[in-house]
Structure 1
Amino acid sequence: MGHMLTISNNGTSVDAYLSGPAGEPRGGLIVIHEVWGLVDHTRAVADRFAAEGYLVLAPDLLSGTGMTPELATELQSTLFDPEQRSKAQPKLREVMAPLHAPDFAERTMASLQACFEHLHALPELGGRVAVTGFCFGGTYSFSLATREPRLRAAAPFYGHADLPLEQLRNIGCPVLAFYGEKDAALVDRLPWLERLMDEAGVDFTPVVYPGTGHAFFNDTNDWTYDGVASEDAWQRTLGFLAKNLAS
């Protein structure tokens, strides 16, 4: 349904998957992948949004880190299996090491900014651009919202928002955030985040799904996927986008 292209802006280039609707787009959407990189699942999610009328860019933010689709499949199948998790963790730490490099976050934000500028400049979108993302992508959805005042909406899925108040105050768009109840690392801190978002004046709506954990939306992960929560989050996201990307 879509195709790869290279987005360039202000000295930054990033490869991205572009998927669009058959007719006039309802708006632009950046879809940020999980920590597994731009795998087929992310492309499928982009295509689903495109089928709903959105022009979607899903950037490849982990190329060059060693995270290949084959390795992603291997790690995902073992990391969530209690009996094999210990075997997967050393390899995951090795592959994730580049993400902790001092300049990785800034390079990633520059790539996301390039994607935003590409969509925002398209006349048919009229500046109507939103972001969503999962895990790694959920975290960077929060970050892009703090950096880009022209963003219309942000819908992070199980992302971290360990950001200071002064950065959260830069968020000018509504945020609809999704969590699984068993994802303690995020849910335990959610009351703190809600207080901080309120103090920052952010329109922040968290949704927590009982009985689910991290990655509940990923239907390629048999260990984590929850069909009921996934469908509810999908419908909520579509409503959220329709409301905030309306002309």
Structure 2
Amino acid sequence: MSCDNCKSGFKWDGQATGKEITLNKANAYVTGDNKDAAILIVTDVFGWTLPNIRILADHYAKEANATVYVPDVFGGEVVDPDAMSNPEKQKKFDVMAFIGRNSKEIRWPEIKEHAQTLKSQYKKVAAIGFCYGGWACFKLAADPSLIDAISTAHPSLLEKSEIEGVKVPVQVLSPENDVMYTEELKKNTLEILPTKGVPWEYVYFPGLQHGFAARGDPKDQKQKDGLERAKRSAVNFFNEFLH
């Protein structure tokens, strides 16, 4: 399935305040200094170096009082952020080929390892996945020894069985228009989560598109309101289940 909204968006202004480290041999951005609570961000295709994700990580660290990790989950491959808004670069970026090189089978073991490492170092760990990272958070949610709670914004590559597997609190940040998080998957989510015996919430964003929470246009009032509401919703969720 082709997804133009998977590779479009806007680069945000702002200076990230964290630092770069190594996490299980992968490059990672880390911000915050809480010794008890951590948040793992599993990114969209623009990866760990995208300024937007680092700015969000800084917000989570400060407002949810946590140490936030953004590891590279694409084996060092970095997509030029200009591909979000430059039509020529966007055309050249084959997002489905990228996902083929970074399939679930290839990337799940290292994402799982990152969660295991954080779980061994912190009392509570939550995860949030944007687009590509969404399926991974649902897979983490099947194992309470890996994660304490998950949030996801406009998940991609998600399967019904992964929704059925959840055993920890779940938050879904869902735009109205999303070719990857389809109407059928939304219906599955709303039918399955109430049967799982875990706290869950579904936050709906009318008029917004796939990718809005991590790559929305802050100069467009509707998108700005949406991405800020998504950030506040995630922070509230983290505060509830990490502390």
Q: TM-score band (shorter)? A: 0.7 to 0.9
Report the number of matched residues: 223
Q: What is the aligned partner in structure 2 of residue 81 from structure 1?
A: none
Q: What is the aligned partner in structure 2 of residue 107 from structure 1?
A: 106
Higher RCO structure (Cα 8 Å, ≥6 apart): 2
**Corresponding letter in the other structure for 2:231:** W
TM score, norm. by length of structure 1: 0.77
Equivalent residue runs for 1:1-247 within 5 Å? 1-8=17-24, 13-21=25-33, 24-25=34-35, 27-38=37-48, 39-52=50-63, 53-65=65-77, 67-68=78-79, 71-73=80-82, 75-78=83-86, 84=87, 90-93=91-94, 96-101=96-101, 104-122=103-121, 125-126=122-123, 128-147=124-143, 149-160=145-156, 162-165=158-161, 167-189=162-184, 190-218=186-214, 221=217, 226-246=223-243
Does the aligned pair in 1 maintain the 2:112–2:146 contact within 8 Å? Answer: no
The offset of 1:186, in angstroms, is 2.1
Does the aligned pair in 1 maintain the 2:30–2:70 contact within 8 Å? Answer: yes
* Partner Cα distance (2:204, 2:98) in 1: 31
**Corresponding letter in the other structure for 1:100:** G
From the superposition, tell whether residues 229 and 90 of structure 1 become closer, same or farther in structure 2 (CA, over 3 Å).
closer
The offset of 1:147, in angstroms, is 4.7
Does the aligned pair in 2 maintain the 1:217–1:227 contact within 8 Å? Answer: no
User: Which of 1 and 2 has greater Rg?
Assistant: 1
* Partner Cα distance (1:221, 1:228) in 2: 10
Q: Tell me, which stretches of 5 or more residues in structure 1 are unaligned?
A: 79-83
Q: C-alpha root-mean-square deviation of aligned residues, in Å?
A: 2.7
TM score, norm. by length of structure 2: 0.79
Secondary structure of 1:34's aligned partner: coil
From the superposition, tell whether residues 59 and 148 of structure 1 become closer, same or farther in structure 2 (CA, over 3 Å).
farther
**Corresponding letter in the other structure for 1:7:** L
Percent identity at matched positions? 22
Q: Deviations over 1:164-210 (max 9, x none)?
A: 43x44432111110011122542512113322334455543211111
* Partner Cα distance (1:242, 1:25) in 2: 15
From the superposition, tell whether residues 90 and 143 of structure 1 become closer, same or farther in structure 2 (CA, over 3 Å).
farther
Does the aligned pair in 2 maintain the 1:57–1:115 contact within 8 Å? Answer: no
